[in-house]
Amino acid sequence: MKVTIEVNGKTTTEDVEDRTLLVHHLRDTLGLTATNIGCDTTSCGACTVLLDGESVKSCTMLAAQADGHTVTTLEGLTGRDGELHPMQEAFREQHGLQCGFCTPGMIMASVSILKENPTPTREQVRQALEGNLCRCTGYHNIVSAVIAASGQEVDR
């Protein structure tokens, strides 16, 4: 079927098999490989992208379901001149990553979190990141990064 999705501000129209998962469409058809496939079972959050501005796990959605909608991947956060999004900047400043595999999903989930709760507490950030696993267990700095991106002072 023909699927039209606005991805990172650009309208894309592609022919896909009906059963194509959104994450495969993004990575294999559109070549946007920042979005990782981790567990492939809706648990780890590595494949998190924004659908109409809200975080979703792209391994548990069909490309067909995104037809007519807007998708933002990590590539879409960065400004045209390469300027980092405040959340990316905060992850770098706070060292919110170790191996980096979970990072694209963590950042997309975090952008969605601040949209719903612009000034969360550390505890609220931890709760809201329940769907994203970091197997380096670097959660402390990830939480600090979200707090910093919200404009609040980071209290370690």
Partner 1 sequence: MIPVAFTYRRPSSVSEVLDLLVEHGDEAKLLAGGHSLLPLMKLRLAAPEVLIDLAGLDELRYVRDEGDTIAIGALTRYRDLEIDPILAEHAPLVAHAAGAIGDPQVRHRGTIGGSLVHADPAGDLPAAVLVSDAVLVLRGPEGEREIPVDEFFVGPFTTPLAEDELLTEIRLPKQTGIGWGYEKFTRREIDWAIVGVAALGKKVALINMGGTPLRAHGVEAALADGASIPDAAALAGEDGNPADEPHASADYRRHLATVLTARALTRATGEVPAGLS
Please report, as ranges, the residues that interact with partner 1 according to CB under 8 A.
1, 17-19, 21, 24, 40-43, 45, 48, 51, 54-57, 60-62, 64-65, 67, 109, 112-113, 116, 128, 130-132
Minimum CB separation of residue 127 from partner 1 in Å reads 8
- Between 84 and 126, whose beta carbon lies closer to partner 1? 126
DSSP letters, the chain, are: -EEEEEETTEEEEEE--TT-BHHHIIIIIS--TTSPPSSSSSSS-TTEEEETTEEEEGGGSBGGGGTTSEEE-HHHHS-TTSPPPHHHHHHHHTT--SS-SSHHHHHHHHHHHHHH-SS--HHHHHHHTTT---TT--HHHHHHHHHHHTT-----
- Between 64 and 149, whose beta carbon lies closer to partner 1? 64
Minimum CB separation of residue 154 from partner 1 in Å reads 22
Cβ proximity of 130 and 94 under 8 Å: no
Minimum CB separation of residue 80 from partner 1 in Å reads 28
- Between 79 and 137, whose beta carbon lies closer to partner 1? 137
Minimum CB separation of residue 128 from partner 1 in Å reads 6
Minimum CB separation of residue 40 from partner 1 in Å reads 6
Place of tokens 């209290």: 155
- Between 130 and 153, whose beta carbon lies closer to partner 1? 130
- Between 21 and 145, whose beta carbon lies closer to partner 1? 21
